[in-house]
Structure 1
Amino acid sequence: MRQVVGVVPVVVIGYWVFAHRALLVAGAGQLLTADVRWLLAACGVTALGWVAVSLARQGTVLEPLPAGRLLATQFAAGAANHLLPAGLGAGAVNLRFLQKCGLPLGRSSAALALYLLCESVGRCVLLLVLLLAFPGALDLGALHLGRLPSGLLLPAALAAAGAVAVCAAVLAPAPALRRALRAYAATAFTDVRSLHARPSRALALWCGSLGFPALQAAGLVTVTLALRVPVPVGHVAVAYLAASVAAALVPTPGGLGSVDAALAVALVAAGAHATVATSAVLGFRIITVWLPLVPAAVTLGALVRRRVV
């Protein structure tokens, strides 16, 4: 059974790639006219992003984690993240990895929650800093429906529906759920205090939490430079951070649809033409999602077979 389960990610991702082959071909055609040096830089920045995530994950627990397996798990989690919505795939892989490293379920889940919280805080802090540095980065007056590709309207509608659903779930929890959340929060708070009493763990946690969104923004910047998008670098970084914060409201697998739409809208608001913005988003997603997808699925299968996760 474990051998069969190890092959499932490869089969699912392979079918997904086949189903979206037209999109990949179109994006590859756009990238053929791009500056190869900047595309290679985008690949390098993407790889550094997995290192930043590994650093942040280590910062969520006191116990030292095996560095090689931790990095491989973060790479493999990218494939699992495209099978389930709202980051549940990556969370499940990391939860299993932490348990295999000897951490109990309560502490493992608290570590996952702490990572999500710190990464969200880091993303919002970077966005606020860049908005102060580039106050005119997003021109919301440029967002007319006629300027946006028609394919973005459905993801935008899903974003609004997702926001309503999340608010409803948060504002009306059941009494039993409230009690469980209070007990869970007490355990998590104890872990947070212990971690921040260790400067090495606190530094790893916050450097990784700030570094990952910064590297992702740098990845989009390098793609726009490769495609010669006429938008200032700082404005592109603001567009990415604003889009990623907005897309978090829509729990789609791997952010498909929600991230694409939010990035295109943000780039248009930053001053790019809709066609150029779509090409840049497509190139960015190919480098950060599609190219690593099959190798990540193979790595995930290998980690399952070797009982690492």
Structure 2
Amino acid sequence: MTAPGTETTADTKTSPPAAPAAGLAAASPVVRRPAPWHLGVLLAVLLGGAYLARRHWPALESGAGRLAGADQGWMLLGATAALGTWAASALAQQGAVVRRLPRARLVAAQFAASAANHLLPAGLGAGAVNVRFLMRCGLPAARSAGALAVKAATGAVVRLALIALLVPACPGLLRLPHLSATVLACALGGALLLPVLLVTPWWPRCRRALTPLLADIRALHARPARAAALWGGSLAFAGLHSLVVIAVGQAVGLPLPPLQVALLYLAASSAAALLPTPGGLGSLDAALALALTVAGAPGAAAASAVLGYRLLTVWLPLVPGLLVLGVMVRRKAL
């Protein structure tokens, strides 16, 4: 017969609290340190941005002066649109999860994630905050990471769809880059190698990893409310960011039609997403300023529009966002 003390010890060893620890351990790869090459690219992009800022400092200085005298009504509209981006992000995040999430904490988490996103490269800050929040809401680590992947993929599809819709309305504004024979040959070689890769030994592992994600996507789209939140929130997020740029452009007298400004912003932000800078700092600024200038805007007006957009979406909300992040961590909501 087993002694009562032995039973108590066995129960203690198999107690349920080990499960959260396992979940946290499983989530650790999401917030791991970037690879050295990642940090090298980040440093190179930031140094390039500093060089361009130094070289074009007169235009930046003139743009800042123009921004100081901007129309306050349009700037207020831009600030209102910037506030709406966090609500749109929260709506899209809820649409990527079948379980119902607490609304107020969800919006606060998106606000905190946007601040953290400007401290770490390539969206690692926002990803870590959202994964921790979803895990606190009871989702496993794998499902939390899958929800972020679904949200990111939906946002990318929405951006590409908006670009495709706006291109016919702005003929000649965007031009396809000239592709050399080397690039075309590499693309053709990759397409020919794809069937070979599908029969390699590691493909079954990838398929097993993708199976739960595809099941979640089917479950989400089986519920019209979740699908509407996912796609509607992603559309509102991209549209509101475009509206911020349009409003700031109108405030500083940018001589470009609103549809053209929206198309240029969507194209520049999509291109800047390929570079691992925190929140697109440097990469998006340079891409957007270049796109506006090439489209016919004066350099000072383009610089002023970019500075105003960054002021409303990054610099003004940064400290409040970090404070919200600290409060949520202290209250163990993250």
TM-score tier after normalising by the smaller chain length: 0.7 to 0.9
User: Is the counterpart of residue 199 in structure 1 residue 221 in structure 2?
Assistant: no
Name the structure 2 match of 1:90. Answer: 126
Alignment of structure 1 residues 13-92 onto 2, 5 Å? 29-92=65-128
Query: How far 1:180 sits from its partner (Å)?
Result: 4.6
Name the structure 1 match of 2:156. Answer: 120
What is the root-mean-square deviation in Å for CA atoms of aligned residues? 2.4
One-letter amino acid matched to 2:331:
R
Q: What is the CA–CA distance in structure 1 between the aligned matches of 2:121 and 2:204, rounded to whole Å?
A: 26
- The verdict on how the C-alpha distance between 1:177 and 1:288 changes in structure 2, with shifts beyond 3 A counting, is farther
Name the structure 2 match of 1:150. Answer: none
- The answer to whether the 8 A contact 1:224-1:280 is kept is yes
Instruction: Show CA shifts across 1:132-166 (max 9, x none).
Output: 2222334799xxxxxxxxxxxxxxxxxxxxxxxxx
Name the structure 1 match of 2:299. Answer: 274
- The answer to whether the 8 A contact 1:138-1:266 is kept is no
Gaps of 5+ in 2: 1-49, 178-189
Name which of 69, 93, 102 aligns with 2:138. Answer: 102
- The answer to whether the 8 A contact 2:135-2:141 is kept is yes
Bigger relative contact order, structure 1 or 2, given CA contacts below 8 A and separation 6+? 1
- The answer to whether the 8 A contact 1:59-1:202 is kept is yes
One-letter amino acid matched to 1:43:
A
Seq. identity, %? 52
Name the structure 2 match of 1:246. Answer: 271
Q: What is the CA–CA distance in structure 2 between the aligned matches of 1:110 and 1:194, rounded to whole Å?
A: 13
Name the structure 2 match of 1:285. Answer: 310
Name the structure 2 match of 1:161. Answer: none
One-letter amino acid matched to 2:82:
T
Name the structure 1 match of 2:238. Answer: 213
Secondary structure in 2 matching 1:133: coil
One-letter amino acid matched to 2:88:
A
Q: What is the CA–CA distance in structure 1 between the aligned matches of 2:176 and 2:230, rounded to whole Å?
A: 34
User: TM-score, normalised to structure 1's length?
Assistant: 0.78
Q: What is the CA–CA distance in structure 2 between the aligned matches of 1:33 and 1:110, rounded to whole Å?
A: 45
Name the structure 2 match of 1:144. Answer: none
Aligned length: 259
Query: How far 1:84 sits from its partner (Å)?
Result: 1.1
Q: What is the CA–CA distance in structure 1 between the aligned matches of 2:318 and 2:101, rounded to whole Å?
A: 24
Instruction: Show CA shifts across 1:13-45 (max 9, x none).
Output: xxxxxxx9x99x957543221000000100000
User: Is the counterpart of residue 183 in structure 1 residue 183 in structure 2?
Assistant: no
Name the structure 1 match of 2:169. Answer: 133
Secondary structure in 2 matching 1:135: coil
Alignment of structure 1 residues 147-166 onto 2, 5 Å? none
Gaps of 5+ in 1: 1-19, 142-166
Q: What is the CA–CA distance in structure 1 between the aligned matches of 2:154 and 2:88, rounded to whole Å?
A: 13
- The answer to whether the 8 A contact 1:139-1:271 is kept is no
Secondary structure in 1 matching 2:227: helix
- The answer to whether the 8 A contact 1:137-1:234 is kept is no
Q: What is the CA–CA distance in structure 2 between the aligned matches of 1:243 and 1:85, rounded to whole Å?
A: 18
- Mean Cα deviation higher: 30-39 or 68-77: 30-39
Q: What is the CA–CA distance in structure 2 between the aligned matches of 1:85 and 1:258, rounded to whole Å?
A: 12
Name which of 241, 255, 263 aligns with 1:230. Answer: 255
- The answer to whether the 8 A contact 2:116-2:125 is kept is yes
One-letter amino acid matched to 1:137:
L
Secondary structure in 2 matching 1:230: coil
Name the structure 1 match of 2:31. Answer: none
- The answer to whether the 8 A contact 1:137-1:235 is kept is yes
